[in-house]
Every structure is written in structure tokens, then in C-alpha cells.
Structure 1
Amino acid sequence: MKHFARWSLCAALLLSTQIPSAQAQTVKRGGTLQIAVDQSPVGLDPHLATAFSTFVVTGQIYEGLLDVDASLKVKPLLASKYVKSKDGLTYTFTLRPGVKFQNGDPFTAADVEYSMDRVKDPKTASPLASRLSAVKDIKVTGPLEVTFVLSQPFAPFLSEIATIAIVDKKYVTGGGDLQRKAVGTGPFSLKEWVPDTYVQLVKNPNYWAKGQPYLDALKYNIVPDASTRQIGLQSGTYQFLPNIDVSLAATLKNAAGVKLIKSQDLSYSLLGVNVTRKPFNDPRVREALNYAINRPEIVQGVYFGDAVPAGPIPPAVKQFAEPVSSFACYTYSPDKAKDLLKQAGYPNGVDFSILTFNTIKTVSDAAQVLQAELTASGFRAKIDVQEFGSFVQNWRNSNFDAFVSLNGGSVDPDGQLYRTLISGGSTNVFKFADPAVDKLLEQGRSATTTGKRIQIYNKLQQMIACKGPVAFLAYGALYSAASSNVNGFTPNPTRSLAAFKTTWLGK
């Protein structure tokens, strides 16, 4: 899976291909944007989703109180404004009037309260729950006003709630199944979902942003094979390929009738381990694993050089990201890795399994490169490639020795690290628990000055980079590919496709 101006990227850093804006040309309304994606959604419930394949669809249907734009600034969305108390413990949001859900139900403060309570409820088991852990109370203080009361100051509060979709209380409490049928306030509504074939969204005629969206429909065609997506784009069968891997981007670079859209990616590839299973229960083995990884080789072999080695915090978040050169274990050294394995009681090396999937080429390629790299250090890895739905289920249940995947990034270090590393965190599938790490994570989110937070997260990064449950691999460039007649789309480093509401098709 955004923040204040001080964390925003300048336009130059976005490196986006210049696309004629809707404002610079006469917008042509209507038409269906044919999109090709590699995976079918794994359910549609925005409070349960962890897969990009779900977000690319639900991001058009649902909205939050706030949004994160392409420059990573937080801006109003369903909330027209907010007021923060002097002590930083109370936020009062004024909601937009006249907004309706796609089924005609009016949007009110009760829907906001219900949505946040639903995410917080342990019975929901939402991976977003940690983002609201500092929220002590949510009160409806008017039909279009809702107040959040925090238990302590929480610096990333605004960027965190921007990721939480508002659902229709009446629909859900009336028995609506959000995993199969989506009802939001967004620019497009769900018309049809044929699993593993396509998802059809249609224009919301009552969308609150008057005049939007410009398109009549979005059709997400499920096309697992990358070459088929490529051929389909070049032939005109498809008009948009979101979040493609760098190898496909390189192939399409000079293709006729195709344009590449590039931005800074906040997401990262990783090798995660289950610290309750041997040998990864020993921090010396986790440190050895990092010494055994040749990250520059991954950057070249998997990302064609269009990436950087990954640390715990994205390099785009300049104030907080420690340079990877400061992490001793990022120096590739099979000898050091073997020595650490010997100290941990594994003089003959270790055998383990890497869980992964093959619908994202950079993921499957990274697993294969890692398998080859690790052998020199005594790590003998077997790759277990699973269907994506099975992978997600095993990931959620911590049913793995190790896994290779992609993780959504954040423009705030709390969003990046807290729910992943805090003991019992909603996405801490690694079963990692360290009181010292927990203490720093809590201090980082409650510190009231940027300087103090920088000190805390610098220390935290040094603690987890080598001995934590995650071997951070790489941050790659983020590409989408579009037909030359696609206009008005602005890329977002968060991988959001919200700009489809201002996208239109020329001749």
C-alpha cells in the first residue's frame, strides 16, 4: 500500500513521462478503458485486502476521508477539511455534503465511524488495524462531522487514515458481502466480476466530483501471461497495463503506439522469514542471510539496473531513509555468512523452502536469483511456486519457512514498519517479537518533532536491517504502459490508479 509537504517529492523526482493533461486539451468523454492485469482480485473487501490485484480495482470503487496525490501530499477527499487540537489528540473532520454511495444510500458520519470501528475490531482481522491503534475513540459529532480522539500524539495519523476506505454501514450491516459485491462512493461502481476472466466497472453517474469520471467504464482483463499482455497492448486489444515489471517496460520502450509512464515506486521486493521456525529463529542466521544476498546483482539481473538496493525505509522518504551503505550486512560476503552459520550451530549450512508465486516476473526472477546466490553461503533453498490465492493464504497463516514477494511502501516510516514488525502486528506474518524494536516503534509514532523521529528511526533501521525478519531487496522504478490515445493519467508512487477518474481516450 502519502503525507505532509515535508515528505513530498518534487516533480522532477517523479520522472513521469509527459502526458497531455486533460486541462491542456479538450476532453473527450465516454468509452471503455481496456486494462490488462496479471491477477484476479483476491476478494473485494477493502478492509481485508492485501494484494495489489484487489487494490487496482477497489481503488476506483472506494474512497477515504483523505487522499495521497502524486507528489505524496495528503489532501481532502470525502472530508472537505479537518481541525487538529493543540495537544494533537483530537481531529475533527467535516465531511462533504451531498455524497452518495453507488447504491443511492447517503454518505454520513455514521459510515465513517462504522468503517473505522470495523477495521479496529479484532473479529474483522483487518491488516489495517495497526494504523488505528492510537485511536481511543471515534465520535459522530454531527451528520457530517466525525471526531477522532487519540490515546497519544500520532505523527502519521493523517497519512494512515488516508488508506482506509469508507464503506456503507447500512449495506454491510444489512448482510452485504463486501468480498463479492462492492459499494463505495468512488467514481466507478462494480457491474460484473467473472473470476479469472475480467472485472467490469461502470461510471458512477452520481459521483460527487462533478464532471468526473470522463470514461464510461473500466474493464480489467485478467491476463496472467506477460507476453500476451504485451501483444494485446501493441495490437490495441488493451489500452493500459498498470504497474508492469521493468523487463516488460524495456520491451515496450520503443513500441509503436505505446507510451511508458514512470514514477518512483514506494513498494519493495523482499525475502521474509518465519522466526518461529529453525534456522531463522536465530538472529545470527538472519544476519548471515543478509550477507549471503548480492543486492547489486539482484538490481542488475532482476531489474535491469532500474532499481536501487532496498533498506527498511524507501529512499524517496529522504528525511528518514538511512543509506544502505550504513548496514554492514549489505556487503556481500559468503565467508562472513558461513562464519555466522557456524556460530549458530550450522557448520554444514541449512536447507529451507522459499514460498512465492509467478504472476509478477520480478518476484519469480528474484526468487530464482536468490536461490543461486545463497548457495555459495551455505543456504540451500527450494522454491515453492504457488497459485497466487494459495500464496496469500499461506502468507496470512505464516505457513512458510521464507517467502519472496512485494510489499507496499509508505511515505511515513510508521506506515512502512509498524504493522509489519510490532509484536502481534496486523501484517507481522513473520511472528517477529522484540521488546527493543517494539519500544522504538511506539516512540517513533508518538514523537512530536521531526528531529526526534529521525533519531528514533535511524536507530531502528540499524537494529532491523541485518537481524530483523525481512531481508529488504530492491526498490524498482514503477512503470505503467498505455496506448498513445490514453490521456490525463498521472502516475502515483503509491501505485494508486485513482487518476483513472481524469483519464480519457483520444482518437
Structure 2
Amino acid sequence: MALAGQSPSADKLDPHVAGSAASGALGKNVWDRLVSYNNDLTLRYRLAEALEPDADGTEWRVRLRAGVLFSDGTPLTSRDVLYSIRRMLDPAKPSSADLSMVDLARTRAEDDRTVVVGLKQPLADLGSVLAGWYVYVVKDGSDVFDATTLPVGTGPYMLKSWSPGDRSLLVRNPRYWEAGLPYLDEVEIVQIAEPEARVNAFLSGEVDMIDQVPAVRASTLRTEPGVSLVDAEFGTMAALQMRADVAPFDDVRVRQAMRLAVDRQAMADTVYLGFAELGNDLYGLGAPFYAADLPQRTYDPQRARDLLRQAGHENLVVTLTTADSSPGQLDSATLFAQQAKAAGITVNLETVPAANYAAQVSGQKPLTHNNWWNYSLDYYYGQTMTSDAPGNSGWRRPAWDARFYQARGTLDRQTRAGLYADLQKELYDEGGLIVHNFVKQPAAVRSTVQGVPRFTLGSDDWANYRSAWLSA
């Protein structure tokens, strides 16, 4: 399997730190989560069999699945969950934002299979947070994750070897808790950062499956003999990110003008060849509480010119730092630069290496790409939009933060929906994201590989190799 990776210096094995698609696929096949997402972002229970809140959502009882063993034969218990939570809350780890609402002083083991999770504030849906990228259960005491100290997990495979920035070899875990799975004896995950290079590796026979196929290649691979495409159920956010705390984007009129300078339909048709749905400057299409009723923003270069004139930024010149790190990213940058000219905006492209773009460039320079996968609004906002979030890109409004915490803690679903609608309206009017499309990035699979399910990037069925098998 070839997936997007990172450079050897940036690649990490630790599931509470690792950030690339390749490391995410490795993590979910070696370890496991308490719960994960179905493709529609509802919950699928994994190591947990039940999540039960108290009356106000400030304490949750997590009941573990019986009979789960680590690959070394050690039973999974509440001690492992408590250790993992404490470890994830290390402020030096990006996982700390995932569980920042957890009150460790009130979090305890009730018995071997029950953990009581105390929270600093009410949370209506703990599961949507536990299904986040970094929230894996590791064995109690595990703290070294490297090529010489291969860790154990409860996932379908065991790690046999790991070469950072290059490849990982996984072998079947005979103690895996899902009866009869996995089918394959070995899976090798190969890291290839550039989408086109992944396609070439697939066509040459180096790999049997690739993720995130560019649209232009998907169109031709669909008719290739001996190849099938596995389509994504929901598209992944393709956006430009303006830092709202850096000139000229610290002026809301400039941010509004930039959003009016992109032709979303032309982007979908030209760059993604129909493998996309229109974005509307908000994250989360298909997720619960997504504000689908807001008016679709359209291409209006004259209105953009008027706003820039009012802001004193007529004939605006900006730099978009881009990379070939996601399918269609370079092409979308080039097309946006062309579209923005009609609004009097000159977009200069600065191309950088793809390997560490997501971790070291996206959201950190004034104008970059932002290509988040599919998660709940609870999770995404906690990771990126609150003032102290690790992925914050200059949107720091304490009043917005307070309303977000109120929304995520409101147990009544209808009331919570209204609160999330208000939060999204403010982001729609004044935020820094230019969400032009939600891109459906299929996987390409050789016909000899069977049992690969449809997926949504970020769901439990993405990188689900436990159900895959080989035909003659």
C-alpha cells in the first residue's frame, strides 16, 4: 500500500504524535481506538462496547470490550486506557488538544473493564472526540516507539519493521479480537509524498493499492484492465487558509474579498473533473450539525474589488505557499491565481517540498492550503479553531471559544444544533478558510486485492486492511 508520508526526520511511530496518512494507516492497524467513525461520522464501537454519560455530561463511563488481548498476550484493561489518556495529555504532544477537556483528577478505573472519565466542562458527545486522529490505546508503560523497540498493540497486525520516511512491514496478529480477521499474512505500507509518484508506483507494479488518487488519474485508471477504484463516500475539505492575524488578512474585508475571488464550480470541473462537491467556506460537509442551509458563496470578482478598495488594498499582491502534497493541490493553486486576477489580486505561487507541508507549512505562513480529513465539528474546532488549539491559524476570539464550549456541552440535540449554526455563521462571515471544494479521493486497487471497503478519509473503513484478501 502506498500512502502520503513524511521525511525521515519528521516521520514518527508514536501514534499520539504521528501525523501523515502513512503513519495514520500504520497506527490504526497496530493499535486501536475506543470508538471510531462510520463513513457518515456516526460512531462505531471498537475497544469500547459502551459510552454512558451522567445527567449533565461532566462524567462518562467507558465500558471495555471483553476478551481483548495485546499482541504479546497481555489482556486489555482499564489501566491501559488510563495510561493512554495521561500520555495523550502531555502538553508536548499534539494529542493533548484531543482530550483537553479531560479532568485527570476525576478520571479513574472503576474496575478492570470500566473507566470513568471526568471532564472539566460538559461534553454531549465524548465519542466524537475519542474517534479523533490521535486517540489510540497503547499498553500501560509503553513510552518508546522506534525501529529497535517495536511496540505491541491490539490491532489486526503487528509491527515487524519500521523505516522512518520509507516503509513499514506489518504481520498478522494471531490474537486479534475480531474473530477470523485479518485475512492477509503481511501488509507493507510504503511512504510516497507526491500523488503522481504514488500513481507511478502503482502502474509499475511496485504496490498493489494507493490512496488519494488525483482526479485526472482516477478517470483513466477507472478503465484500466485489472484495476478498480474504491470511491470515497464523502469528500475531503480542499481549502486555502488565510492567517487572520497577519496582514493583509487581519482585515475582514480582505478575507471576504479573497473568498469572492475563487470560482468553486470551475475548480470542481477543471481540477477535480467531477470528483468533488462545492465548498462553502466551512469545514464538515456530511458531518452532524454542518450548516448546509447557508447561501452558497459564488464567484464575484467585482464585489471583491470593491471590498479591497474599501480596505485600502486595491491591486492586492499575495503569496500562496503551495506543494504537491494532496491530489489537485498544485493545479488548484494555479487556477486560483488565474481566477483572482479578475478581482485585481495577484497571487504569486511559492512551491515547497511536499514531504512536511502539512506539519510545517500549512496554516503557518500567511496563505497556504488546508486539506483536513473528515471528523466531527467537535473534534475539528477543538483542534483548529479555539484560541489555544494546536492548529489555530490566527482565529482567536474568546467569545467564540466560550460559545463553542457551550455548544459541545449541550446535551439537547436541537439546542446544540442551533448553537453550532451560530458558530458557523460567524465563521462563514468572517473566518479565514476559503473552502472551495470537498474532494472525493478514491483508492486504486489491483483486481487481485479484494475486500477493500468504501470509505471516508478519517473513518474506520479508511486504511481498513483487516478485511482485505488476495485472489488468484
Q: Same fold (TM over 0.5)?
A: yes
Structure 1 residues 379 and 129, CA gap change in structure 2 (3 angstroms) = farther
Contact 1:273 1:280 in 2 (8 A): yes
Q: Which amino acid aligns with 2:438?
A: Y
Match in the other structure for 2:402: 439
Match in the other structure for 1:331: 298
Match in the other structure for 1:504: 469
Contact 1:424 1:431 in 2 (8 A): no
Match in the other structure for 2:138: 167
Structure 1 residues 135 and 226, CA gap change in structure 2 (3 angstroms) = closer
Alignment of 1:15-54 (within 5 A): 35-40=1-6, 42-54=11-23
- Distance of 2:204 and 2:20 partners within structure 1: 29
How much has 1:59 moved relative to structure 2? 1.7
Report the TM-score, using the length of structure 1 for normalisation: 0.84
- Distance of 2:178 and 2:440 partners within structure 1: 31
Residue 140 of structure 1 is aligned with which of 97, 100, 109? 109
Which string of whole-angstrom CA distances, capped at 9 and with x for unpartnered residues, describes residues 224-270 of structure 1?
56555445545654321223232221111111111111122352011
- Distance of 1:146 and 1:224 partners within structure 2: 39
Structure 1 residues 170 and 427, CA gap change in structure 2 (3 angstroms) = same
> Structure 1 regions of 5+ residues with no counterpart?
1-34
Residue 314 of structure 1 is aligned with which of 277, 281, 284? 284
Residue 308 of structure 2 is aligned with which of 329, 333, 341? 341
Residue 265 of structure 1 is aligned with which of 234, 257, 263? 234
- Distance of 1:226 and 1:345 partners within structure 2: 40
Contact 2:41 2:287 in 1 (8 A): no
Contact 2:275 2:441 in 1 (8 A): no
Q: Which amino acid aligns with 1:60?
A: N
Structure 1 residues 241 and 177, CA gap change in structure 2 (3 angstroms) = closer
RMSD across aligned C-alpha pairs, in angstroms? Answer: 2.5
Larger mean CA deviation between 303-312 and 491-500 belongs to 491-500
Which string of whole-angstrom CA distances, capped at 9 and with x for unpartnered residues, describes residues 281-334 of structure 1?
11111111101111111111211122122131433236533245x15xx22111
Residue 249 of structure 1 is aligned with which of 208, 213, 218? 218
Alignment of 1:14-413 (within 5 A): 35-40=1-6, 42-124=11-93, 126=94, 128-136=95-103, 137-163=106-132, 164-172=135-143, 175-177=144-146, 181-224=150-193, 226=195, 229-230=198-199, 232-234=201-203, 236-311=205-280, 312-317=282-287, 319-323=289-293, 326=295, 330-347=297-314, 349-395=315-361, 399-410=364-375, 412-413=376-377
Alignment of 1:436-475 (within 5 A): 436-475=399-438
Larger mean CA deviation between 439-448 and 101-110 belongs to 101-110
Where 2:267 maps in the other structure, the secondary structure is helix
How much has 1:271 moved relative to structure 2? 0.5
How much has 1:190 moved relative to structure 2? 1.8
Larger mean CA deviation between 91-100 and 162-171 belongs to 91-100
Larger mean CA deviation between 152-161 and 41-50 belongs to 41-50
Q: Which amino acid aligns with 1:494?
A: L
Contact 1:299 1:307 in 2 (8 A): yes
- Distance of 1:466 and 1:52 partners within structure 2: 32
> Structure 2 regions of 5+ residues with no counterpart?
none
Structure 1 residues 355 and 183, CA gap change in structure 2 (3 angstroms) = farther
Q: Which amino acid aligns with 2:431?
A: G
Where 1:296 maps in the other structure, the secondary structure is helix
Match in the other structure for 1:14: none
How much has 1:451 moved relative to structure 2? 1.5
- Distance of 1:471 and 1:343 partners within structure 2: 20
Match in the other structure for 1:20: none
How many residues were matched structurally? 462
Where 1:135 maps in the other structure, the secondary structure is coil
- Distance of 2:449 and 2:354 partners within structure 1: 30
